[in-house]
Structure 1
Amino acid sequence: MLPKEKIDRINFLSRKSKAEGLSVEEAKEQTALRKEYLDTFRNSMRDTIEHVRVFDPNGDEVTPDKVKEIQKRNNPLN
């Protein structure tokens, strides 16, 4: 998760962009911050998906095979 200061800065630049426009430096900063935010989000989502186990209503594990293979590769002790 990004620090609150960076998220606040992303939001500030977004509001400023809509209201009055950004300077070249601010636009570059906004692009870099957005990229950092998306990279962090994607890594977090990937980590969540790779550690999830799915069960049906009967209690049988139905985790997709692709996810099981990734879990085995990342943690060979299991």
Structure 2
Amino acid sequence: MDELLGRINELAHKAKTVGLTVEEQAERDSLRAEYIKQFRASMRGILDNTYVQYPDGTKKKITKK
């Protein structure tokens, strides 16, 4: 994931300074989509293992709305 983010940042910097070719824009878009996919999977994993502990000591797993 760090490699993805590094390459996305490189392309973002290049886009601001020189501009991107059509191929680089396509690469940037696919890298962003992959990053978002991995980020969501990571967050879903975290939330699937998250419990709320109430003041009386009981724990309840959070659920989807």
For the criterion TM > 0.5, the same-fold answer is yes
Q: Return the match for 2:50 from 49, 52, 58.
A: 52
Which one of the candidate residues 21, 24, 30 is aligned to 2:22? Answer: 24
Quote the Cα distance in structure 1 between the aligned partners of 2:58 and 2:40. Answer: 29
Q: Which runs of 5+ in 2 are unaligned?
A: none
Aligned to 1:73: none
How far has the Cα of 1:62 moved from its partner? 3.8
Q: CA deviation at 1:9?
A: 0.8
Q: Which structure is higher in strand share? A: 2
- C-alpha distance in structure 2 between counterparts of 1:42 and 1:57, whole Å: 30
What is the percentage of aligned positions where both structures have the same residue?
39
Three-state SS of the structure 1 residue aligned to 2:51 is coil
The 4+ residue runs of structure 1 with deviation greater than 2 A are: none
CA RMSD of aligned residues (A): 1.5
Please give the per-residue CA displacement for 1:12-70, whole angstroms capped at 9, x wherever unaligned: 00111111211000000000000000000000000110111110233222433x35xxx
Aligned residues: 64
TM-score, with normalisation over the residues of structure 2?
0.83
